Amino acid sequence: MTTILNLRNSPAQVASVTLNDEIESAARILPEQGPINVFVFENTLQALEHLPFHEALLQGADRFGHQPYLPENFYRHELKRGRIRIEKLRQVLLDELRTDADKMVDGLTTRLELRLAMLQYQLLQGPAAELNWYMAETDALKGVSPETSGANRLLLISETRRWMMRELRGPTAPDWAVQLIKRFGGSTVESWPEAKWEAFALEALWSVCLDGVQHLPAYCARKPRTIRHAELLRQATGTDADLPVNEILTRFTGAFLDQGLSRWSLPDRQKGFFRSFLHLYSQQAGMLAIPELSAECRRLLANNITPLDSAAESLRMLGVGDEERPEFLTQTLLPLRGWASMLRQIEQRGDRVPLPAPGGSLVEFVAVRLLLDRLSVAATANELGYHVPLDKLRCVIRDRMAPDRDFLPAARAFVVFQLAQVLGWVPARLAALTPTDWETLVREIEAFTATDRERVFHKAYERRFMRQSLDALTAHQPSPPTPVVSFQAVFCIDAREESFRRHLEEVCPSVQTLGAAGFFGVPIYYKGATDAHFATLCPIVVQPRHWVIEEAVPEQERTHRQRATARWLWGRTSHLFHIAGRSTVPGAVLSACVGPLAILPMMSRVLFPRWTARIAHLAGRFAGPPPTRLRLERTHPEPGPHGSHVGFTVEEMAGIGERMLRDIGLVGRLSRLVLFLGHGSECLNNPHESAYHCGACSGSPGGPNARALAMMLNDKRVRTLLAGRGVLIPDTTHFVGGLHNTATDEITLFDLSRVPVGHASDLSAATKALDEARGRNAHERCRRFHSAPLDLTAAQALRHVEGRAQDMAQTRPEYGNASNAMCIVGRRERTRGLYLDRRSFMHSYDPSTDDADGTILGRILGAVVLVCKGINLQYFFSALDSRGWGAGTKLPHNVTSLLGVMDGAASDLRTGLPWQGVELHEPIRLLMAIETTPEVMRRIMARNEAIRRLIVNGWVQLALLDPESSQILIFIDGDFTHYEPQAKTLPSAASSADWYRGWREHLEFARIGTGA
Amino acid sequence: MMDPETWLSALGIIALVAPAVLVLILGTLAVFDAPPSERMTTRIVQTLIGTSLLALIGATGLLLGMDLPRLSIKLVDWVSLERVHYHFAVKIVLDHLSLPFALLSLVLCVTIGSFATRYMHRDPGFFRFFLLYSVFVLGMVTASLADTIETLFFGWELVGLSSALLIGFFQDRPAPARNGLWVWIVYRVADAALLLAAVVMHHMTGEGDFDHLLGEEAWPMGVTNLDEYQALFVGVLLLIAAAGKSALIPFSGWLPRAMEGPTPSSAVFYGALSVHLGAFLLLRMSPLLNASLPLAMLTVILGLATVALSSLSASVQTDIKSALAYSSLAQVGLIVAEIGLGFRWLPLVHLVGHASLRTLQFLRAPTLLQDYHRLENAVGGRLSGPISGLIPARAQAWLYRFALERGSLDVILWQKVVRPITSAFEALDRLDRRWSNLSEPEALATVANTQEEEDRT
């Protein structure tokens, strides 16, 4: 009886609380990526944002086993191409080494020069066999390496010649020299040709190097200790005990999380992950790859063991001690990190999916994983002949593993040998080094590891872009404000809109364009007239409090209902076909009767995508909704998704309108026509479609937000309220919302029937300008598509992008935000007429309208920094190591559980972006260029911890544009320093097309237009 | 002026030679490591496959116009030993079975070829894909037009080879290689059975020509001149071959594994053509089924068992490619059962219809999320999915487990067939090494050490 009373505080229970916490905290490292159909851009290493950027990269790369940087060869190629400059490398090294840069190494060279040489020249390294082959079969010992300068070659030859003539022929000569001279025919030394001397010098150098490093020990860096049993077994024997575990767990987790792909869903799902697993796998329904599993499941079920107790039991049986437990649990999550993280996402954000998972599912997942791990490892070890208890297994494997034989003196000597040639260290000089000197030299070389080199390269790579763009911003003369503004167009900050705005300004010099986060300050749950569900239209960090629905205009209500019925019928029928196609008997009838006809739509879709799409579009027009309007105004005090709860009060509308107009500095400057253009992307056959939509709308199109804002600002009552707050909207101003389709460059404007008659001519002028601009924009985009010829006209380019979007076989309907690198927050006058190559996010902000605390700027940055950082870093990591951080190539992707994609038949869920979406992205951190003063920026950073942390830890780079002059300050190591531009002038071209025509690669920034 | 029959022969030969030329061109370029540009590759591939298709369309028109039931064209007499009545010949046949199947293959190959041109754009393996693809096309055309069992075997092999290599197309991950190897091994078993059948046929009749073996009458009217037991024996071998190629029980586990390759090859191979090749073989050999009732019954049982397993499995798969793979398999099983029941035209129509429908579904697989979204919008709510209501509650967990683990076929094959064989080989290997060590005097001393080492590992 006493046991029951004590249970409350029993050690076992305390232990399971700790274990629960340990699993939860281990799970924090998992990538934060939710369901694929609402793609949210986030920093892949969000969990490490409290660390400085480069440190976090190393830690993350270590943890996940991915690359921290691009491969060294890539950077070296960029160095050859001129994308990275030697001066930048030197500068980065100087910054990193500071006073140590001039430290001499054995009197041979400085640390700086040594490291620079190691960056500049590719030092071959390899296993013993490769090295032997290289020395024997190539000219490495006959002629100096091609990188060696002529002067160093002559120096090497003449010095060695002198050394040999004077010393090596004497009695004190080392053994190798005697043999070498004998082999080269020492008696005829006076008549050796130069080539022979060169070979002799190299042989001598090689021997000296070999001699020098011969007796030095290995200074290997501590390798991370493998603690998972399966991992150790694989290292020792090559047999993978994880394989059957992953197979079973992938299938089961897929079934548990399935949102409706399979026709038969998991029985007993409601019992939770652990219980339903036990129940299912305790069945005697055929053999399993892990034979003991069924019996074990039955035992756990019969004894009613909780997930945490089972996990604790497995850990105990595996012999995992308390101190290594956190690390062990983390490593246990990693083999199926995609599935684990999806489980966690669904558990935490159940509102984003139809079938949420109960709390604690991840803990149960770990319990199951540990159970499977333990059984599989035991079975595998047994099969491999390790007949020891499971908790002793790791010691036994480690004892039997062969010691690390990577280290090889010749490989080490070979590095010195190559460096000696490019740096001009002659053999005589090296031969004079004492063993301590050799140790210093080798340590010095080996301290600059491959990762260090990649880091330096990467910094130089980023700096080059920073310098180019800041130079351009300094050199560019702000354009004078447009005297007469014909209309204003507000776009999303998205980098894709940069080119569109530029072209619009080129087409219509009297236009004024602005940028704002694409939800336009209207965070809503939105349901379109033909939608079944509400979509969340705002950044992921914001939780909407209002609902908006689209409905047919009253006079069309009847048509709307009829068409809805037609759509319902169509939907039911196609769903039936869909189901029938996948089931047996109906499928047989279907294939035998109409199957051969399926060839026709397939051939037309594949061979003539654009025409097929047109016909489908025409047909769809009869089933689409009639003219609609937004239900925007709320009569009930409480917001909600139904009836009178839908919408905003007039007061709330005024608040939203005021904030937006003040944010982008439009107060008092409104023209007769103001367009708000959200954006989205329409494309086919693409599981990652959502990643092309608006990032500020959580991966949905932002048209409804623009439409809602325009309606609010057109409302007389809102205008009256605003006038009372000093925001005067002239009666002559009319707002129109719209949507820019970034795949086809099509522009749709909403509620045109409500445009006053007096504005007709303004509207037609604006549409004409937009029409011209979209052709030009498509043309600029086509330069990036290798399947689009470079000599297209604007009209052909439009046809090309339309065809792309409708092509089932197209894996790159567009390139999204690939190549984004920078974000400018400031007045457009600063950048108007500057070709930014679609690489910059742009938010409008007028510092002259802000107060000394930067209230407006603070709230702009609150959204912009987080959204743009998320996009930038998601691209960054996916491009850095596409197979590791990214989703790899999309060609074998397989939609799973309606939540994500796997590679092929079964794999971990792939997170990140596919290779096809990031292939042209340059992974560099976001450069924020903000038009403000250091004082204001400091105040904002003091107020907003999230922003401060990102900037101080270097996840985004910061530059300030002085509002009064063209000066720029950059933020380095916690301080703002004056930026000294290198180039004083900018290249220029008459139009954007003149600048980019004929080029597929990234382009430098340039001045466009008549001022050129 | 050539007579229509010569025209027909010419067209048939063109249909076969065009893909052979394609393989020759791409293969030569590959050997010299000189892959042409994407545009050039595409042009060569589409021209030659197109030529083959046009020739075949012409041939079909002529054959129908001439009201000819069949035409056999001899290309090469490879081996001919008159005295012992033994010969190997390369022959093709144009009849009501070969033409529809070959036409289906070529139409799908042209369409998917065009799809792949854009789908594979800029992939580092672009040329490799089309090289293997052309090998596949040649294999399909050869197998479907074959008039001797040797010719059929040749095409059959090419299809198997290109399949396995395309499954392992992505060489930077271990899973495709592993699964490609698994499929390759299953194919070897099927090939061995087919080869054995060919040898047995030669042994029985002295040649592998279908017109002698399956009667002079045009398909499906042929009557075999083998007796009942001979037919049963050869038929069982052919059934094993067909089961391997068409993923019937007990080999079904390879079909989802084959989804590792790029989407277009998955579509055309495992949705449409490759997976139906076994059924095609049974159709071609159908006179044997007529001759032996046990054989026909065996075929029906095999087909229906496959239907049962794969319909169950299809309903629990949570990824679209596996779901489609098992749905395909259910149809293939049904087609095989139809053949066993004595139908001839029905399975052929079923096969053609199913292949077309399934290819479209596979190609649209990546668009599943959008499709669901659109359907949900049209219907105005969640699509009803679960069918669990139809299954008695008590059997649910058992059946679901059975279906989720796909009948444990792969585990059974692995533990009951593969493991014993590999263990036996390992034991023989150890024995062999010990023996060879003993035979070398200087190695004698090391034997003790080796022994020790072995004991330790």
Per-residue pLDDT band for A2 (boundaries 50, 70, 90) equals: very low
Degrees, nearest 5: CA angle A184-A190-A192: 50
List chain B residues with CB under 8 Å of A288: 405, 408, 411
- The minimum CA-CA distance between B88 and chain A, rounded to whole Å, is 36
- Residue B67 token pair: 């009201």
Q: Are A878 and A893 in contact (CB under 8 A)?
A: no
Task: Return the minimum-mean-pLDDT range out of A511-520, A670-679, B195-204, B346-355.
Answer: B195-204
Per-residue pLDDT band for A224 (boundaries 50, 70, 90) equals: low
Q: Are A37 and B369 in contact (CB under 8 A)?
A: yes
The whole-number average pLDDT for the span A519-528 is 94
Q: Are A782 and A801 in contact (CB under 8 A)?
A: yes
CB-based contact B388 A264, cutoff 8 Å: yes
Nearest to A369 by CA among A224, A229, A226: A229
Tokens 């809602």 map to which residue?
Answer: A708
- The minimum CA-CA distance between B347 and chain A, rounded to whole Å, is 9
| pLDDT tens digit sequence for A779-795 | 999 999 999 999 999 99
Q: What is the pLDDT of residue B225?
A: 80
Amino acid at A533: H
Q: What is the pLDDT of residue A407?
A: 60
Tokens 């020395």 map to which residue?
Answer: A135
Between the two ends of chain A, the Cα-to-Cα distance in Å is: 92
- Residue B147 token pair: 């008039």
Tokens 């309007």 map to which residue?
Answer: A629
Q: Is B3 on the interface with A (CB under 8 A)?
A: no
| pLDDT tens digit sequence for A377-429 | 999 999 888 899 999 999 888 888 766 555 678 888 999 999 999 999 999 99
Domain boundaries, chain A: 128-220+406-449, 229-400, 556-623
In whole angstroms, what separates CA B27 from the centre of its chain? 22
**Which residue on chain B is closest to A268 by alpha carbon?**
B397
Q: What is the pLDDT of residue B384?
A: 61
SS3 A945: helix
Phi, psi of A667, rounded to the nearest 5 degrees: -60, 125
The pairing of strands A834-835 and A1006-1008 is antiparallel
Tokens 């604690």 map to which residue?
Answer: A360
Whole-number Å distance between alpha carbons of A776 and A994: 12
- Residue B36 token pair: 């042409």
Q: What is the pLDDT of residue A170?
A: 79
CA distances from B309 to A803, B252, B257 (A): 42, 9, 16
Q: How many CB pairs under 8 A join A and B?
A: 316
Query: CB within 8 A of A726, min separation 6: which ones?
Result: A667
Q: What is the pLDDT of residue B457?
A: 44
Per-residue pLDDT band for A9 (boundaries 50, 70, 90) equals: low
* Cis status of the peptide bond prior to A146, with omega within 30 of 0: no
Task: Please check the confidence at residue A481 and state whether its pLDDT lies above 60.
Answer: yes
Amino acid at A206: W
Q: Is A36 on the interface with B (CB under 8 A)?
A: yes
Query: CB within 8 A of B216, min separation 6: which ones?
Result: B222
Q: Is A167 on the interface with B (CB under 8 A)?
A: no
pTM for the whole thing?
Answer: 0.93
Nearest to A527 by CA among A553, A542, A547: A547
Q: Is A8 on the interface with B (CB under 8 A)?
A: no
Q: CA-based diameter of chain B, in Å? A: 84
SS3 A637: coil
SS3 B246: coil
The whole-number average pLDDT for the span A531-552 is 90
Residue of A285, A597, A893 lying closest to B398 (CB–CB): A285
With 0-12 CB in 10 A as exposed, 13-18 as middle and 19+ as buried, what is A915? buried
Nearest to A279 by CA among B319, B387, B394: B394
CB-based contact A891 B123, cutoff 8 Å: yes
Where is A109: in which H helix or E strand? strand A109-110
Domain boundaries, chain B: 4-365, 410-456
Residue of B112, B373, B401 lying closest to A280 (CB–CB): B401
Question: Long-range contacts made by residues B43-48, C-beta under 8 angstroms, separation at least 24?
Answer: B45/B113, B45/B130, B45/B133, B45/B134, B46/B110, B46/B113, B46/B114, B46/B117, B48/B18, B48/B19, B48/B21, B48/B22, B48/B134
List chain A residues with CB under 8 Å of B334: 584, 588
Q: What is the pLDDT of residue A360?
A: 92
| pLDDT tens digit sequence for A30-72 | 988 889 988 889 999 999 999 999 999 999 998 898 999 999 9
Give strand pairing partners of A901.
A895
Whole-number Å distance between alpha carbons of A180 and A200: 8
| Structure letter (DSSP) for residue A38 | G
Whole-number Å distance between alpha carbons of A323 and A318: 14
Burial annotation A261-295 (CB, 10 A radius, 16+ → b, else e): bbbbbbbebeebbbbbbbbbbbbebbbbbbeebbe
Phi, psi of A935, rounded to the nearest 5 degrees: -60, -50
Q: Is A480 on the interface with B (CB under 8 A)?
A: no
Q: Is A571 on the interface with B (CB under 8 A)?
A: yes
List chain B residues with CB under 8 Å of A590: 353, 357
The whole-number average pLDDT for the span A685-692 is 90
Q: Which of residues 789-828 of A touch B (CB under 8 A)?
A: 807-812
Q: What is the pLDDT of residue B202?
A: 83
Whole-number Å distance between alpha carbons of B112 and B134: 12
**Which residue on chain A is closest to B330 by alpha carbon?**
A584
**ipTM above 0.95 for this complex:** no
Q: Which of residues 346-365 of B touch A (CB under 8 A)?
A: 346, 349-350, 352-361, 363-365
The pairing of strands A1006-1008 and A900-903 is unpaired
The pairing of strands B70-81 and A1006-1008 is unpaired
- Residue A221 token pair: 């860096």
Whole-number Å distance between alpha carbons of A361 and A353: 15
Residue of A255, A584, A596 lying closest to B318 (CB–CB): A255
Residue of A261, A531, A591 lying closest to B377 (CB–CB): A531
Query: CB within 8 A of A321, min separation 6: which ones?
Result: none
Task: Return the minimum-mean-pLDDT range out of A29-38, A113-122, A840-849.
Answer: A29-38
| Conformational region of residue A124, where left means phi above 0, alpha means psi within -120 to 50, and beta covers everything else | beta
Q: Are A952 and A974 in contact (CB under 8 A)?
A: yes
Residues in chain B where the model's pLDDT stays below 50: 445, 447-448, 451-452, 454-457
Task: Please check the confidence at residue A116 and state whether its pLDDT lies above 90.
Answer: yes
- Residue A127 token pair: 């296993």
| pLDDT tens digit sequence for A814-827 | 999 999 999 999 99
| Structure letter (DSSP) for residue A334 | G
Cβ neighbours, 10 Å, residue A597: 12
- Residue A491 token pair: 């776009």
CB-based contact B314 A904, cutoff 8 Å: no
CB-based contact A606 B363, cutoff 8 Å: yes
SS3 B150: helix
- Residue B79 token pair: 């081996």
Give strand pairing partners of A893.
A903
Q: Is B98 on the interface with A (CB under 8 A)?
A: no
CB-based contact A896 B320, cutoff 8 Å: yes
CB-based contact B400 A37, cutoff 8 Å: no
- The minimum CA-CA distance between A897 and chain B, rounded to whole Å, is 5
Task: Please check the confidence at residue A260 and state whether its pLDDT lies above 70.
Answer: yes
Cβ neighbours, 10 Å, residue A535: 18
Whole-number Å distance between alpha carbons of B306 and B336: 9
CB-based contact A265 B317, cutoff 8 Å: no
Q: What is the pLDDT of residue A632?
A: 93
Q: Is A587 on the interface with B (CB under 8 A)?
A: yes
Whole-number Å distance between alpha carbons of A901 and A890: 9
Nearest to A768 by CA among A520, A510, A433: A510
The pairing of strands A487-492 and A900-903 is unpaired
CB-based contact A262 B385, cutoff 8 Å: yes
- The minimum CA-CA distance between A243 and chain B, rounded to whole Å, is 10
Residue of B179, B354, B380 lying closest to A591 (CB–CB): B354
SS3 A735: strand
Cβ neighbours, 10 Å, residue A123: 20
- The minimum CA-CA distance between B457 and chain A, rounded to whole Å, is 7
- The minimum CA-CA distance between A591 and chain B, rounded to whole Å, is 5
Q: Are A863 and A696 in contact (CB under 8 A)?
A: yes
Q: Which of residues 304-343 of B touch A (CB under 8 A)?
A: 307, 310-311, 314-324, 327, 330-331, 334
**Which residue on chain B is closest to A600 by alpha carbon?**
B356
Cβ neighbours, 10 Å, residue A96: 15
Q: What is the pLDDT of residue A7?
A: 43
Whole-number Å distance between alpha carbons of B410 and B419: 12
Q: Which of residues 30-49 of B touch A (CB under 8 A)?
A: none
Task: Return the minimum-mean-pLDDT range out of A445-454, A526-535, B86-95.
Answer: B86-95
**Which residue on chain A is closest to B415 by alpha carbon?**
A289
Whole-number Å distance between alpha carbons of A719 and A802: 40
Q: What is the pLDDT of residue A866?
A: 92
Between B410 and A625, the higher pLDDT residue: B410
Query: Sign of torsion, CA A367 A368 A371 A377?
Result: negative
**Which residue on chain A is closest to B338 by alpha carbon?**
A588
